[in-house]
Amino acid sequence: MKEQLQQLVTAAIAQLPGAAEAGRPVEIDRTRDPQHGHFSCNIAMQLARPLQQKPRDIAALLVDKLPPSEFVAAVEIAGPGFINFRLTEAAFHAELRHILDAADSYGNSDIGKDESVLLEYVSANPTGPLHVGHGRHAAYGACLANLYAAAGHRVHREYYVNDAGRQMDILALSGWLRMLQATGAEFSYPEGAYQGDYVTDIAADLTALDEPPQHKVPAGFFADLPEDQDAALDMLIRRMRELLGESGFEQVHRHMLDAVLDDIRDDLAEFGVTYDEWFSEKSLTVSGDVQNALDLLAKNNVTYEKLGAIWFRATDYGDEKDRVVVRDDGRTTYFASDIAYHLNKRRRGFDRLVNVWGADHHGYVPRVEAGMTAMGEDKERLHVELVQFVALYKGGQKAQMSTRSGEFITLRQLRAEVGNDAARLFFVMRSNEQHLDFDMDLARSESSDNPVYYLQYAHARVCSVMRQLDERGLSWDAARAAASLSLLSEPQEQQLMLSLSKFPETVAAAALQNAPQHVVHYLKDVAQEFHAYYNAHKFIVDDAALRNARLMLVLAIRQVMQNGLRLLGVSAPEQM
């Protein structure tokens, strides 16, 4: 509908001298007050300065030059120069037909057709199973990917695997120590190592390797450890490397990484979240990308040496302090890998880089932007969405989450208790910028208070109506329905047709604003209107014309509910 009105206004502008040359975009918006019509356009006010005329005068000229349309019932000039459109019933009838003709593609647009997007989300360190916080990242990122695709973007879904660095070394140490304990060694397991049962389970397989690692703890291995927990872990890692040799250490490291990563991959796939690429952090070093980024920074004269380390002049680009990119021992930092990764993304040809990060990474955004700018990239190409934390409640009690301690509820456990659909919807029904209290008892309930049940029930109800139609030996006549839509005169029918027509713009707005919750709120409104309509009117009536028209309306509702739920990663069951 909006596109058709834009075409009418554009045609009028073409006939107004100087208007087309002004190059102002034609924006069509819904009116807030239905008394002012259905849509409004502010183009007259946009053209006032370049044409040096009063907005109301320009509006009058444009209204006079609007091509006739069977879909426009009236055009009025309001306020300082708004052009308000009131649509005919035929416009909404045409939209109903379009919904059923477009089917699964209804709601799609081409607003992003010229832009490729690399969307990176979750990217949790592969040091343990995913917890419910990661689940929110997964649900949000997957919804963004669906929305971008619906808006016409070319979308590349990516998981950045942090397979290098200290946390992975701690995981390797944890697995090796648990293996030693399982084979009879007696010692006090470090508090700072990973504590979860999953470490013991994975470590049990280490002894089955073709070249199993050292099974005995040499004398003095745990002697003289620093009191500081982190320093003690670092010393144990060094001793493990010396004892096993680099190849032996790497074997344990790889075994632990692969096991955890396979579990993460399977967990996400079962959650309906898949990726086009799992990108290895280590590959950045092997390929030379990290060194290339460092060389580029040096070439641009934005690095300097201090106390044996190489620093990046991040403060020159708005960061709060300069950042180390190469430590005094020659090892590159995580930050060096991160800016190399973002340069790699751009050199792979992606127009826009969207990262979904935890809220605790908010301070990391300006330094990555600084790195991109210093390497000659436009920081506006990068957009970071921060996801706030999840508090999980069960029986009124708040669950604890800590990957290192092993005391947390995994995403897999949550899915087993509430199901994928409830988890996907609950994770995105509020803005990612807001903290989320996840009520597991509500998510499991089969009542209208549970939003996922409420939405799915609307879809299932339409399916039930169609089954009843078949049971009565009747069928829906599409041609007769299309010819009888004027019979949809009830206020609830009028409102439903208006609401259904808002779906494409809702999807577009959700994609542009990175806000899948807009789709959730929209579907709740449509479901509420439909449930009220269902309770107030019969659809399978004796009057064949009215019956077919009403069935066309409810079939359009079913299609829109189905399309919206699919964007959210939620199933649309036919029976409940």
What is the structure's pLDDT at 401?
Answer: 58
3-class DSSP string for 2-40 = HHHHHHHHHHHHHCCCCHHHHCCCCCEEECCCHHHCCEE
Range 116-160+274-387: architecture per CATH: 3-Layer(aba) Sandwich (3.40)
What is the structure's pLDDT at 276?
Answer: 98
- The answer, yes or no, to whether residue 534 has pLDDT greater than 80, is yes
> What average pLDDT is seen over the chain?
94
- The answer, yes or no, to whether residue 522 has pLDDT greater than 90, is yes
What is the structure's pLDDT at 395?
Answer: 86
Contact 129, 411 (CB under 8 A): yes
Q: Which has more pLDDT, 312 or 21? A: 312
Beta bridge partners of 390: 436
- The answer, yes or no, to whether residue 262 has pLDDT greater than 70, is yes
- For 446, phi then psi, to 5°, come to -105, 75
Q: Where in the chain do CATH 3.40.50.620 domains reside?
A: 116-160+274-387
Q: Where in the chain do CATH 1.10.730.10 domains reside?
A: 94-102+105-112+447-568
What is the structure's pLDDT at 219?
Answer: 84
- For the chain, give the percent of residues with pLDDT over 90: 89
- The answer, yes or no, to whether residue 15 has pLDDT greater than 90, is yes
Calpha distance 420→374 (Å, rounded): 43
| pLDDT, tens digit (0-9, with 9 covering 90-100), for 204-260 | 998 877 777 776 788 889 999 999 999 999 999 999 999 999 999 999 999 999 999
Query: What region does 80 belong to: left with phi over 0, alpha with psi -120 to 50, or beta?
Result: alpha
- The answer, yes or no, to whether residue 23 has pLDDT greater than 80, is yes
What is the structure's pLDDT at 407?
Answer: 62
What is the structure's pLDDT at 398?
Answer: 86
Place of tokens 């040499």: 218
End-to-end CA distance of the chain: 34
- The answer, yes or no, to whether residue 544 has pLDDT greater than 70, is yes
Q: Where in the chain do CATH 3.30.1360.70 domains reside?
A: 2-87
Average pLDDT of the residues in 515-532: 98
Contact 171, 260 (CB under 8 A): yes
**Of 18-32, 187-201, 309-323, which has the strongest mean pLDDT?**
309-323
CA torsion through residues 264, 266, 271, 276, sign: positive
What is the structure's pLDDT at 177?
Answer: 94
- Planar angle of CA 521, 524, 529, nearest 5 degrees: 130
CATH code given to domain 2-87: 3.30.1360.70
Tokens of 545: 């014309």
What is the structure's pLDDT at 13?
Answer: 95
- Strands 277-280 and 323-326 come out as unpaired
Average pLDDT of the residues in 436-456: 95
- For the chain, give the percent of residues with pLDDT over 70: 98
Calpha distance 71→5 (Å, rounded): 9
CA torsion through residues 438, 439, 441, 443, sign: negative
Lowest-pLDDT choice from 182-191, 214-223, 319-328, 434-443? 214-223
Q: What DSSP character marks residue 75?
A: E
Q: What CATH superfamily is the domain 94-102+105-112+447-568?
A: Isoleucyl-tRNA Synthetase; Domain 1 (1.10.730.10)
Tokens of 266: 């399977």
Count of beta carbons in the 10 Å neighbourhood of residue 41: 24
Tokens of 215: 């099974």
- Strands 39-41 and 28-30 come out as antiparallel
- The answer, yes or no, to whether residue 403 has pLDDT greater than 60, is no
Alpha-carbon Rg for the chain in angstroms = 30
Annotate 393-402 with b (16+ C-beta within 10 A) or e (fewer): ebeeeebebe
